[in-house]
Amino acid sequence: MIVLGIETSCDETAVALVQDGQEMLASLVYSQADLHARYGGVMPEAASRDHLRKLPALAEEALEKAGLSWDQVDLVGVTYGPGLIGPLIVGVAYAAGVALARDVPLVGVNHLAAHLFALRLMAPPLDPPFLGLIASGGHTLLVVVPRWGEYQVVGGTRDDAAGEALDKFGRLLGFPYPAGPKIDALAQDSDPKAIPFPRPMLESGLDMSFAGLKTAALYWLRQHSGAPLPELCASFLEAVVEVLVEKAMRAARRFQCKKIGVVGGVAANHRLRQVFPARANERGMDVFFPPPELCTDNAATVAACAFHRYRELGIADPLSLSPDANLPLHGWR
Ligand code: KG4
Ligand code: ZN
């Protein structure tokens, strides 16, 4: 079964073709980062218009790359939330149009569930039960996954997402949006203990807060001029990484998960990928990271999730499928 996956929930236009939920025949991601760089964040109206401009051509390009024609597509999977409503409308309308024209089923996908499906696209795949940490620019959640299609959200950020904190910190330093990859690169050969940034809410519970960390960094920058950028980045990143690692391990212990799967854009981070496995192994847990291109927004994970919903859960959606900007993961199959 060939699934066409479509992702337009934020600032990446992505199209993928995946066979039987596992084999990636094509996965194309077009980033709008340059478009939004000058605004310091994603400008929703500009994002919608750019998805509309780019999506049809990207779908044609993906088919060509996979060596397929339109009549070989068996199913269309599309992100219908959570995300920015304008961009979601563009993706869902396009997907419904393809489903109608090709007379194939349409399956709506939750963007957060799609992130988790990166763990199923790994070779070998990570099988539930596991504790999922989703750390992206829009979300930071801890999710117990007893089986695919069942998601129990057990913790998460009360304010900024981990990636959002990195992006906002980068903005203070004058970096263009999104700043995560640049902070990652600058931090790599520097001392993560150089500046003692706080670790908010580290000691208790499964909730997180990153807004306070950003404010602490703002005050620190006002009081200390001329600190080297690599030290600043390494120290700030270390605070984010330590909170993510500690909270995920606490959740895994509490819910008796021996495996932790880390997804979302921040899961591409080198320091997180270095620190987490070592710490988890000390406590008898294993940590799994999909390849970086499956951690950041893409449509292969959307196609994999759509395949699971259709084939294993027997779910298809009407062509009137409505985007939901605030679609929760709890209770979503
Ligand atoms: O999952 P994603 O591509 O989009 C959302 O669903 O939000 O995540 C984007 C976020 C941004 O905040 C970006 O700065 C961050 O992931 N990010 C990184 C890295 N690559 C992307 N953060 C740290 N290190 C990276 N290498
Ligand atoms: Zn995402």
In angstroms, what is the span from residue 3 Cα to ligand 2's centroid? 20
Residue with tokens 């990166």: 118
Reported confidence tier of residue 225, pLDDT bands at 50, 70, 90: confident
Q: DSSP string spanning 68-114?
A: --GGG--EEEEEEESS-HHHHHHHHHHHHHHHHHHT--EEEEEHHHH
**The predicted structure's pLDDT at residue 257:** 98
Q: Are 128 and 117 in contact (CB under 8 A)?
A: no
Reported confidence tier of residue 171, pLDDT bands at 50, 70, 90: very high
Residue 163: exposed, middle, or buried by beta-carbon count in 10 A (0-12, 13-18, 19+)?
buried
- Ligand 1: which residues within 6 Å by Cβ? 10, 136-138, 163-164, 166-167, 178-181, 184, 264-266, 268-269, 296-297
Its CATH architecture, for the domain 2-116+295-312, is 2-Layer Sandwich (3.30)
- Among the residue ranges 36-40, 182-186, 284-288, the one predicted with the least confidence is 36-40
Query: What contacts 93, CB < 8 A, 6 or more positions away?
Result: none
Query: What contacts 166, CB < 8 A, 6 or more positions away?
Result: 178, 179, 180, 183, 236, 237, 240, 266
In angstroms, what is the span from residue 44 Cα to ligand 1's centroid? 18
* Whether the predicted pLDDT of 273 surpasses 90: yes
**The predicted structure's pLDDT at residue 272:** 98
Residue with tokens 């339109």: 70
Reported confidence tier of residue 39, pLDDT bands at 50, 70, 90: confident
In angstroms, what is the span from residue 210 Cα to ligand 2's centroid? 18
**The predicted structure's pLDDT at residue 86:** 98
Tell me which CATH code domain 130-289 carries.
3.30.420.40
pLDDT above 70: percentage of residues in the chain: 100
* Whether the predicted pLDDT of 333 surpasses 90: no
CA-closest candidate to residue 138, choices 161, 112, 158: 161
- What residue segments make up the domains of the chain, in order of their start? 2-116+295-312, 130-289
From the CA of 264, the nearest ligand is 1
The domains spanning 2-116+295-312 and 130-289 adopt the same CATH topology: yes
pTM recorded for the entire structure: 0.97
